[in-house]
């Protein structure tokens, strides 16, 4: 008896073919991976009714069974699909001995190669063992980013769609992140490299930033206008500023340096109503001296940047907060 667990959805059609032409099952079970997978692909074409499947009541006629029994890999594929894209037989061999879990996975594979997408074909050839997950990822990826390196690092089609969007975001901020530059960076990825680091490198070089709320600086308050300014400040103040580059790039945050002593964080108000002083940061995010914070607030008042008024209640409120602070956020 044929092992249904081994051949899955192929079991029933193979039994029917063996009834039509004795020896089909034995031929399949002893075939090399390339020929065995060609048979599975042909069965998928019949099951999914694509290619040159036989119409009529007899879904698996003797003529088809004879090709399965005696034909070479390309003969079988031509009998099933008519058009056999270059490299299909070799790529099928990368699947291994077992069939893919679903017949439609073979149709997806055939379609990817039929479209004459050189990147898709190269990605599949370099992807090692081919699985339905890799086919799902490859099908969802923008053709520009199809590569063995992306197939190795993405788990689902949904993640592939997110990568497409992430690269579009990066390209909107970095004029040098051309299709050729991004594709080249993907191709040059080392085994230990990640897509997150690749995207971050392009964001670090973003040159299409929104206008800064402080148009002109002075001797006290210097706006950080470029990503280089921001990264340099992050190194000098030894904080996690480099992880906020995307927020800065899209205008969700702006930074300025006050007297070379602290960083001033500004946030936009809704409906384009201007910017608000959000916070002040010193080295390693240590507590900011109250006198320095007050000087920053005075400077923002001077140039018309509003802030939350924390002065209400006077000394009594401050004393109350001192004794009840352990109750906050409890």
pTM comes to 0.80
Q: How many helices (H) and strands (E) does the chain have?
A: 18, 4
Task: Give the tens place of pLDDT for each residue, 125-165.
Answer: 998 999 999 999 999 999 999 999 999 999 999 999 999 99
Cα distances (Å, whole numbers) of residue 285 to 187, 222, 232, 289, 291: 38, 19, 16, 12, 16
Question: Where does residue 214 fall: left (phi above 0), alpha (psi -120 to 50 degrees), or beta otherwise?
Answer: beta
State residue 3's pLDDT score. 47
**What pLDDT does 55 receive?**
44
Give residue 58's pLDDT. Answer: 46
pLDDT at 323 (0 to 100): 76
Q: What is the pLDDT of residue 52?
A: 56
**Whole-angstrom distance, CA of residue 305 vs CA of residue 215:** 12
Per-residue pLDDT tens over the stretch 165-181: 999 999 999 999 999 99
pLDDT, position 145: 97
Over the Cα atoms of the chain, what is R_g?
31
Residue 126 tokens read as 């370099």
Ranges of residues in the chain whose predicted pLDDT is under 70: 1-6, 51-62, 310-315, 318, 322, 325-330
Tokens 């893919």, residue? 100
pLDDT value of position 56: 46
Our measurement of the distance from residue 316's CA atom to the centroid of its chain's CA atoms, rounded to an integer in Å, reads: 53
């Amino acid at each position: 008896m044929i092992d249904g667990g081994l051949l899955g959805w192929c079991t029933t059609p193979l039994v029917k073919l063996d009834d039509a032409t004795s020896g089909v099952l034995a031929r399949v079970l002893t075939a090399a991976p390339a020929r065995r997978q060609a048979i599975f692909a042909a069965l998928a074409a019949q099951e999914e009714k694509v290619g040159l499947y036989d119409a009529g009541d007899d879904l698996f006629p003797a003529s088809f069974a004879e090709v399965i029994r005696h034909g070479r890999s390309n003969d079988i594929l031509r009998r099933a699909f008519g058009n056999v894209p270059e490299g299909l037989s070799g790529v099928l061999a990368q699947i291994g001995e077992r069939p893919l879990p679903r017949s439609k996975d073979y149709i997806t594979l055939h379609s990817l190669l039929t479209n004459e997408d050189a990147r898709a074909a190269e990605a599949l050839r370099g992807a090692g063992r081919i699985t339905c997950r890799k086919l799902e990822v490859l099908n969802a990826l923008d053709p520009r980013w199809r590569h063995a390196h992306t197939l190795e690092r993405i788990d689902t089609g949904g993640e592939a769609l997110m990568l497409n969007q992430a690269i579009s975001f990066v390209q909107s901020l970095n004029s040098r992140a051309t299709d050729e530059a991004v594709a080249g960076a993907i191709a040059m990825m080392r085994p230990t490299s990640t897509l997150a680091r690749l995207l971050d490198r392009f964001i670090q070089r973003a040159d299409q930033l929104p206008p800064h709320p402080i148009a002109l600086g002075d001797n006290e308050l210097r706006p950080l206008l470029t990503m280089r300014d921001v990264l340099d400040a992050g190194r000098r103040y030894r904080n996690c500023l480099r992880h906020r580059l995307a927020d800065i790039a899209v205008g969700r945050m702006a930074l300025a340096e006050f007297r070379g002593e602290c960083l001033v964080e500004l946030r936009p108000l809704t409906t384009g109503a201007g910017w608000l002083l959000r916070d002040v940061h010193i080295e390693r995010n240590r507590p900011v001296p109250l006198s320095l914070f007050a000087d920053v607030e005075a400077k923002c008042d001077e140039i018309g940047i509003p802030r939350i008024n924390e002065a209400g209640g006077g000394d009594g409120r401050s004393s109350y907060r001192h004794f009840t602070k352990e109750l906050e956020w409890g």
